[in-house]
Structure 1
Amino acid sequence: MQQTLIAAVWQPKLVCLVVSALFTVPATAADNDNSVLPEVAVVGAKGGDETSSYVAKNTKGATKTDTPVIETPQSISIVGRKELDDRNVQNLVDALGYTAGVRTELSGVDSRADTYMIRGFKSGMDSESGASNLFIDGLKVQAGGQWNRASFDTYGLERVEVLKGPASVMYGQVVPGGMINLVTKKPTANHVNEIRLQGGSFDQYRISADIGGSLADDDSVLFRLVGSFNDGNSQLDHTDLQRTYFAPSLLWKISENTSLTLLAQYQRDKGGSTFQFLPYYGTYAAGAGGRRMSNSNFLGEPYWNSYDREQSLVGWAFEHRFNDIWQFRQNLRYTNLETEYKGVVNRGTGLSYTAGVTQVPAVGIVGLRTFAYGASKSEGVAVDNQLQADFSTGALKHTVLVGLDAQRINWTGDRRTFNQASSMSIFNPVYGLSPTVSLSQLTTASDYDVDQKQTGIYVQEQLAWDKLRFSIGARYDYFDQVAFNATNNRRNGFNDHAFTWNTGAVYLFDSGFAPFVSYSTSFEPGALGIAILNDESIKPIKAKQYEAGVKYQPQGSNSLVTASVYELKQENRLAAAGSCPESIDGSCYTQVGEARIRGFELEGKAEVTDSLTLLGSYTYMDSEITKSATVTETEGRDLSLVPKHMASLWANYAFNGQLDGLSAGLGVRYVGGSYGMTRAAGPADNPYLHTDSYTTYDAAVRYNLKSFGYHGAEVAINASNLTDRTYVAACTALTACYYGMGRVVNATLKYNW
């Protein structure tokens, strides 16, 4: 891959230094224009509801305009900073644990990337479909192959927004279940400086700092520095995890009508990989002697176990208001990501097993293991230009948004393997029996160089007439991809276009009830670098959703309850259909699949009293493969990993009187059983690899030290999976089962000034 001009300027180790250096720039006086137009709404300039409450009342994520959540005809879940702090969230999976419609831990404990699905469809960094459903500050996070996945430290986030259902009109190619928008901490004039010290399970320790304020007397230049460092062990034996995170930002209010925010992030992850392919027998089903392996057992080789990631992001958010009607915004970001992976993984059952026969193996040996190596680099540029007009025509109030966005991504991936690792007991692993290998001994399995481009233009109209809110939007996208595999000198390329649209309406009753209906569509270009069976052209994978529901937010209350029903259909699904030697990776797919999910969601967050805060959710999903012309799927079956029922409840209570300063939280999460396969390929007693439901509990105790004279100081103890339940989160094959996270206890000392 040739280095681009942008890459030459923004080297990964320099991006944060560039923005940090800008803090030394002296404050610039505002222009002397005497005409005063309406104040520019600066992102991050005001502390939102999430800084002091679980309930966020406004969001820009769904419509890219500052619209109240209750006036948006779509199900939206927002996890704000207070909730992130109270639950002591360690990663994005933790943050999403109490969100309706979201299932986490699809790959179990995985330090490489956060895995989750929204409304039954895999989301996040799903590089196989070529569509990332993870956004940060409204711009897509690039997806790359060969374990090239981005991950973001949650300490640097202000909130996590979950938009349910198709979102292509605003964001282009996305998986239909929904998307995640991570909103980062930005400069603010009323910021409170903070430092945290934390230690806990697996000998992990962490130090974090969040410092910011004004560099000018008139608050025209604001800065913020957010950083953290953690190091220690993990749930998995012989696996360390270390992270360095630093995010400087600078906001310059050029005038009353113009602002520029410069943003940068640098993150370096070092250590091992906690991801493992575990055998069905010995984890979910009993193995030899009725035993099950510990969720901490490591089945690789300690010297060949690493996952190192270095990611850098730099960009800006520019805003300008021309007059009381027109305003312009531009968000731009350059991202550079490099990863290197080494692991020894299970590549066969190694156990006595015959398909379709119930058979408990006599021994607990993983017999077929392979050395795996992957090195990948990706860089991309994303830009979103928005022109907004706010005006009235008679009794109608209009908010019109016109946008043009684009993204350019290049990623390279080198994957190598060596199938000479020795067998190993899953109950009592012994290391060092395999031959010591070097990188030169591994055989190259694939060597990709992929270029992806997408350009979209969109328009949205939001109407307000008395108590009725109506919106309609449309988008046209053009995308292009070229993939080259150097191992077989084959190149695949395709380009296509897609049109998507949405519409919805909300009626606001004085009582606080707001019924809504909506229709939305989405698309994905298709899988990366594959050949379609019989040379069929690659068609975009499309989806559509009908949704109806009601939101409830009584005036003057700090609460929001949303209930909705929906039907979500996906067309042109890809399904494996044997091998194609002429394809770029030897895989062959057919594109005749359809799936449908009908669901119900109930989610609420409320400050019941001054002391008691509750948040709860319930999810029901009925999934079905409605059309498939391949033996790898069975029509009428449930989609894999989609539970019918999920539920959660978290309660936080702040004591008064003599116990003033003390608060406690208690939570419970339930995930129903699901199937790992869409065809009968498992044992006779479990042909579709069903895994049972599981329930975990979380708890927290916090104490503000103000009564001892230490104002701004707080100590806290948080525990997730309080009972240390061992559970299998999912099984997708007889050699692909995944344990969930065990008990994690952390103690935190926090000081604000």
Structure 2
Amino acid sequence: MVSAAQSNDPHRHHEKRHNLMGEVVGRIELADGQAAEQVSIRVKGTSLGVNSAADGTFRIQAPAGWQVLTVSCLGCTPQEVTVEVKPGQRVEAQPVRLAAGEQQLREVTVTGAKSLNQRTTSIGKMPIAPLDNPQSTVTIERAVLEQQQALRLSDVLANVAGVYVMGTTGGTQEEIASRGFAYTSANTFKNGVRFNNGIIPEVSSLERMEVLKGSAAILYGNVAAGGVLNLVTKKPQFERGGSVGLRVGSFGFVKPQFDVYGAVGQSNNVAFRLNGTYERGDSYRDGVTSNRVYVNPSVLFRLTPRTELLLEGDYLRDNRTPDYGIGAIDYQIQDSRSRFLNVADARNATNQSSATATLTSHLNSTWQVRAVGSFQRYDNDLRSAARPSTIISTPGATYGNWTRGLLRTETAENYFLGQLDLTGTFRTGFVGHTLLLGADADQYDSNVVAYTNPASPTKPTTAVTAYDIINVLDPSKVIAQPTERLAGFNSLVRNSLTKGNTRRAGFYAQDLLSLSDKVKVLAGLRWSYQETPSDVFNYNTIANVTAKTANTYVEARRYDQAFSPRLGLVYQPIKTTSLFASYANSFTPNTGLDLQGNSLAPSLIDQYEVGIKNELFNGALSANVTAYRIVNSNQAQSVLPTDPRFTTASTTSPMELAGQVTSKGVEVDVQSRPVSGISFIAGYSYNYTAYTKSNIYEDGSRLRYNPAHTANGSLYYSFGNLFANNGFLRGLNAGVTAYYVGDRLAGRNSRSLNPATGKPWVDANGQPIADAFKLISLPNYFLFDASLGYSYERFSVRLKLANLLDELSYNAHDDNSINPIAPRNFSATLTYKL
């Protein structure tokens, strides 16, 4: 019998209500089996409801008994699921696969309405909503790429604050950097797998681009501190469709492309996708041409209702003229946009292919295992004049003369990767967990053959080094040529074969702890191991005989290991705002020996980051601000000969971890969802990366290539709402984009001391002189682009005018590769949807 006091006890009534409720868990999937987030799940006949999480899972409280869950979203057919809810227990519903609705809005997909802070990046490996992640992340979707008619990766990067092109490496590569650190091939990914970025990647196959700014060492080991970039290619779909198109543009540019997808036969378990393109064109640069072929096939197998296998591959053949630009005379740029300094038969030929298998199994509604195996092949044959250096700068008749040499290399690289991740969500008491446990291992096998100059027919102990002499200001100028000249690339002889076999492995764990709805902690740790053997075979050439290395085999082997911790705190005062602070570190392996003759240890790099993420106007606008400080406090540097510890400079060139480089800055990213036909992207970044401790560079001197300021903005409008009653004008759309790159430095940082002597610079007479190295200030520039598009039924046409103001500036590599940016240019794209 219940007493009156007991019947009036509110805690007892709460306990009774709790006992009459149960919990339903499940997962929502898109038609292709991928996770569907922000889908509404409601208990029919009640006010109870939730939205699916980033990994498609949901948890909802429901009254005991048989209940009907309604599942609905924009552009899909509502579905109902019946489950039996038991008091105080959890019941698992069968996965729900969304089906397209019969009356869909034009070009609307289930994921199309997500904001910047609702898009979970696959490169992060965990189903964490961006508002819960104490790290800056940015995703650029395919709709933006199509609106802006992105042709190169640099076009896509112009939408992300603080990620920029730092150089173009002979016109064959776009060197990417962020926060003062270069994105090497270790920092660039395709579908979560590293790829060699030595050649410009193809963007026509992209579904989206993901950027995870700052340290990602806990997830991927040896990556630079600036961040990582992931290119996600188009995936198979069970609905049949596709498109064919043709893009033409200035300088003889032609690019046909195609994309087809659908179920294999009438199967509900096997789907495919195949897209590809051919491209050819000349250039605003005299004598520069390019052509490429790209194919990207993929197949999806639904092995069971919870398990799927995705097979993806791609092949790229890229042939283009290597172009090291217009050169610089005594660190001064001689303005030109078209002047070409390479030889007529120079070429850079690259073949790159990959194959990736991804097996994903949902063990239940809260746990998932994912296994990835991948192979990539990269082959490159480079034949080019050397970079324009040692140009005569003395005034007179020979001013601007340059003696050209030739270079030739052949590179073959195989890359293997295996990766296994387990993710899950659970609770321990009042603490919620989103856990990641994983391991990975990869291996690079590389062979690089380098060629050098042959012996002189008249002086067997010397080499012929010159191909010809030109004047960089007037390549057509007639100049007396050397008596002995290289006959061409085939006259070069093998100099060395370098065989690399880098092996890496790592184990990692990361947990997002939800202490409450407002406070969350992300903590994790990774252990990384890296083995770097390098075998060099030297051939009997004049260069090797002079260096006393002829017919030698040299083996070098390094073993490195490091721990990479991560700790972040998130506070959400309201559901649409999160404040975060985090610490993480990364590592960079070094070469060389220390004072004791041992291999130099890796440099550990600390990163501190704070920020705020906001969802404004009911999620219509995302506005995020991040501030960071990255410190490499044990940067490798040479021990100077004047140092008392220096004893063996001529044999070991001792190194030490005593330098310091500091990067600090602020980034702002703003994105809107499409609202009434309008979409908007904007951003700003400030960065200052400098030597803050060095034995040869002045403290505070900036590192090269990193712009102090960047800013971006794009506005796109579809006139469908304005002309809703006019079938002809309804398909009209237009957009403008702007991109600003602030002051940058190229050339070489001047040194306060001569590293060869450890003393101030002096001439042959002992008189003080300045360092021969100088910095080059590259011009700031604004790029303005305008686009106009029109769609009618299955046809669409897009027009683009790029660099409207015809701005002139340069990208640079070292002190002698100065490449001008493209002038005003035009393109048009015609597309037919199948």
Q: In structure 2, what is the equivalent of residue 699 of structure 1?
A: 786
Matches within 5 A, 1:294-443: 294-303=336-345, 305-352=346-393, 365-418=400-453, 419-430=465-476, 435=485, 437-443=487-493
**How far apart in 1 are the matches of 2:111 and 2:466?**
53
Matches within 5 A, 1:150-549: 150-190=199-239, 192-215=241-264, 217=266, 219-276=268-325, 278-280=327-329, 285-286=333-334, 292=335, 294-303=336-345, 305-352=346-393, 365-418=400-453, 419-430=465-476, 435=485, 437-464=487-514, 465-487=516-538, 488=549, 489-510=553-574, 512-527=576-591, 535-549=597-611
Helix, strand or coil at the partner of 1:749: strand
Please give the per-residue CA displacement for 1:677-719, whole angstroms capped at 9, x wherever unaligned: 3325999999432223222212211111x2xxxx121111123
Counterparts in 2 of 1:40 and 1:96: CA distance versus 1, 3 Å: farther
Note if 1:725 corresponds to 2:807: yes
Matched-pair contact (CA < 8 Å) for 2:257–2:277 = yes
Matched-pair contact (CA < 8 Å) for 1:315–1:334 = yes
TM-score under structure 1 length normalisation: 0.83
Q: In structure 1, what is the equivalent of residue 103 of structure 2?
A: none
**How far apart in 1 are the matches of 2:108 and 2:770?**
55
Matches within 5 A, 1:589-600: 591-600=657-666
**How far apart in 2 are the matches of 1:525 and 1:188?**
42
Shift of 1:621: 1.2
Helix, strand or coil at the partner of 2:160: coil
Please give the per-residue CA displacement for 1:634-688, whole angstroms capped at 9, x wherever unaligned: 3221122222211111111222226432221112211111223332599999943
Matched-pair contact (CA < 8 Å) for 1:301–1:432 = no
Q: Amino acid of the residue matched to residue 124 of structure 1?
A: T
Q: In structure 2, what is the equivalent of residue 5 of structure 1?
A: none
Shift of 1:97: 1.6
Note if 1:102 corresponds to 2:163: yes
Matched-pair contact (CA < 8 Å) for 1:54–1:79 = no
Deviates more, 1:471-480 or 1:61-70: 61-70
**How far apart in 1 are the matches of 2:537 and 2:692?**
38
Matched-pair contact (CA < 8 Å) for 2:393–2:400 = no
Note if 1:139 corresponds to 2:193: yes
Q: In structure 2, what is the equivalent of residue 603 of structure 1?
A: 669
Counterparts in 2 of 1:687 and 1:431: CA distance versus 1, 3 Å: closer
Please give the per-residue CA displacement for 1:250-308, whole angstroms capped at 9, x wherever unaligned: 10011111110111111111232233371146x9545xxxxx3x3222101112x1111
Matched-pair contact (CA < 8 Å) for 2:797–2:831 = yes
Helix, strand or coil at the partner of 1:94: helix
Counterparts in 2 of 1:532 and 1:265: CA distance versus 1, 3 Å: farther
**How far apart in 2 are the matches of 1:57 and 1:79?**
12
Shift of 1:363: 5.9
Matched-pair contact (CA < 8 Å) for 1:346–1:368 = no
**How far apart in 2 are the matches of 1:250 and 1:691?**
46
Counterparts in 2 of 1:258 and 1:443: CA distance versus 1, 3 Å: same
Q: In structure 2, what is the equivalent of residue 21 of structure 1?
A: none
CA RMSD of aligned residues (A): 3.2
**How far apart in 2 are the matches of 1:510 and 1:740?**
45
* Pair member with larger Rg: 2
Matched-pair contact (CA < 8 Å) for 2:173–2:200 = yes
Helix, strand or coil at the partner of 1:564: strand
**How far apart in 1 are the matches of 2:119 and 2:231?**
15
Deviates more, 1:398-407 or 1:86-95: 86-95
- How many residue pairs are counted as aligned between the two chains? 679
Percent sequence identity is 24
Matched-pair contact (CA < 8 Å) for 1:491–1:584 = no
Shift of 1:137: 1.3
Counterparts in 2 of 1:574 and 1:343: CA distance versus 1, 3 Å: farther
Helix, strand or coil at the partner of 1:65: coil
Q: In structure 2, what is the equivalent of residue 129 of structure 1?
A: none
Helix, strand or coil at the partner of 1:95: helix
TM-score under structure 2 length normalisation: 0.76
Deviates more, 1:169-178 or 1:570-579: 570-579
Counterparts in 2 of 1:588 and 1:155: CA distance versus 1, 3 Å: farther
Deviates more, 1:212-221 or 1:65-74: 212-221
Note if 1:662 corresponds to 2:732: yes
Q: In structure 2, what is the equivalent of residue 3 of structure 1?
A: none
**How far apart in 1 are the matches of 2:301 and 2:635?**
47
Shift of 1:439: 3.9
Counterparts in 2 of 1:263 and 1:171: CA distance versus 1, 3 Å: same
Aligned partner of 2:705 among 641, 653, 661: 641
Q: In structure 1, what is the equivalent of residue 632 of structure 2?
A: 570
Higher relative contact order (Cα pairs below 8 Å, separated by 6+ residues) = 1
Segments of structure 1 that go 5 or more residues without pairing to the other structure are 1-34, 126-131, 144-148, 287-291, 354-359
Q: In structure 2, what is the equivalent of residue 115 of structure 1?
A: 175
Shift of 1:549: 0.7
Please give the per-residue CA displacement for 1:292-327, whole angstroms capped at 9, x wherever unaligned: 3x3222101112x11111111012010112233432
Matched-pair contact (CA < 8 Å) for 2:307–2:360 = yes
Q: Amino acid of the residue matched to residue 669 of structure 1?
A: Y
**How far apart in 2 are the matches of 1:431 and 1:490?**
45
Shift of 1:481: 0.7
Matched-pair contact (CA < 8 Å) for 2:661–2:690 = yes
Q: Amino acid of the residue matched to residue 728 of structure 1?
A: Y
Shift of 1:169: 0.3
Shift of 1:511: 6.0
Matched-pair contact (CA < 8 Å) for 2:313–2:356 = yes
Shift of 1:510: 3.4
Counterparts in 2 of 1:192 and 1:523: CA distance versus 1, 3 Å: farther
Shift of 1:213: 1.0
Counterparts in 2 of 1:170 and 1:416: CA distance versus 1, 3 Å: same
Note if 1:743 corresponds to 2:834: no
Shift of 1:392: 2.1
Counterparts in 2 of 1:532 and 1:341: CA distance versus 1, 3 Å: farther
Aligned partner of 2:777 among 672, 687, 690: 690
